[in-house]
Amino acid sequence: MRNLLLYALGAGGMCYLAVLYRSRGVLALGIFVLLLSPVFMYLLQSVGRRMECGLFYSAYPDGTGKYRVWIEVENPTSIAIPSLCAKVVLRHRATGRVCKVKLRGRIEAGQSACLEGGLERPEFGQWQMECKGLCCYDWLGIYRFWKKLGDKKQIILFPECYQTTVRAGVRTRLFSSESERYHPQMNGDDPAETLELREYQKGDRLNRIHWKLSAKQDSLMVASMGLPMGCNVVFFLDAEIGEMPQADGKAFWEVVNSISQEMLRQECSHYLAWYGKEGQKIMRKAVRCPEELSEFWGEILREPMGRCAFGQLYGSQFKGEAYACGLSLNQNLEITCNGRLLETFRPAEVREQLLRMELML
């Protein structure tokens, strides 16, 4: 109960003055002030019990680099609450690092409010987020109602994504490879998938003519074959994150996320490949859409990463699979393309180096 002592002293002083000077008006005012306190306490408890609260977070940072954490509060009553505050505690599952975010605000009658705070530059990985409750204060700042929340969540905070100069050429994106997915618009040479049947046009290949259908239609009909959307770029993650300094590990994942996001934007399907220490083999995840990239972040946290001779082991483990371009980012933050060193990243300059680096796939 904040300010309760000052409030009681003030009300008691008014009553004392009323008796001392025999003033009925001052006495009535003192009694009114004393009775006002329990009324505020009742109203505060009435509103607090009916409020609805929920804890939320943003998995990616906003434009300022902060990860948003907020509590949505809904007040269905006709009474406003002038002061709300809460504390959200986040604990990194791997490193044990603890971050605390304090939230403050107010909520009007019959409306909803958002108590929002920011988490600056946390490590990528699994976090435990917990908020035990919400403190509600009355207008006089005397009484406090504890709204129990007890919301605990296991969350993943993804690395920050920066703008890059990566360019995926047409030859790389349309490199001939096997896949169960086909381009929805472009034609290819895979007879296993037929996009459409149409009349023959000058310049069409003779081997595309559908002879049986042409005989029935009494005109030449051509079959447009499917173009497989294979993963033509392999991005090797050659690092043991647990052995890297915290700043280097954070920079490593920022580079991976930025380049992978840019390849997705340019419709360049790719593999993210890493060496699983427990399984003693190369693991990989095909990334052809944002949902698959999100799945990768969940998979990479299940098993510790290690280092290996990717060039030799990948060819023996995935025999006969060709790719147009091989990227590699190692523990020293050195990125190579088909064996050629492109850049050595420094944790404090990752954003600028990604913009400056010339990477043509």
Sheet bearing 221-228, strands edge to edge: 182-188, 221-228, 190-199
Q: Output the DSSP codes for 337-354.
A: ETTEEEEE--GGGHHHHH
pLDDT of residue 278: 86
Domain residue limits, the chain: 4-48, 51-157, 184-228, 233-356
pLDDT of residue 171: 65
pLDDT tens, 12-50?
666 666 666 667 766 666 666 666 777 777 888 888 889
pLDDT of residue 190: 47
Query: Which residue ranges in the chain fall short of pLDDT 70?
Result: 1-22, 25-35, 170-201, 203-218, 221-229
pTM of the model: 0.72
Instruction: State how far the Cα of 114 lies from the Cα of 121, in Å rounded to an integer.
Output: 22
CATH classification for the domain delimited by 51-157, as one of 2.60.40.10, 3.40.50.300, 1.20.1440.230, 3.90.190.20: 2.60.40.10
pLDDT of residue 191: 47
Instruction: State how far the Cα of 55 lies from the Cα of 52, in Å rounded to an integer.
Output: 11
Instruction: State how far the Cα of 358 lies from the Cα of 91, in Å rounded to an integer.
Output: 38
pLDDT of residue 74: 94
Secondary structure string (H, E, C) spanning 231-263: CCEEEEEECCHHHCCHHHHHHHHHHHHHHHHHH
pLDDT of residue 28: 67
pLDDT of residue 170: 65
Inter-residue contact 1 to 144 (CB < 8 Å): yes
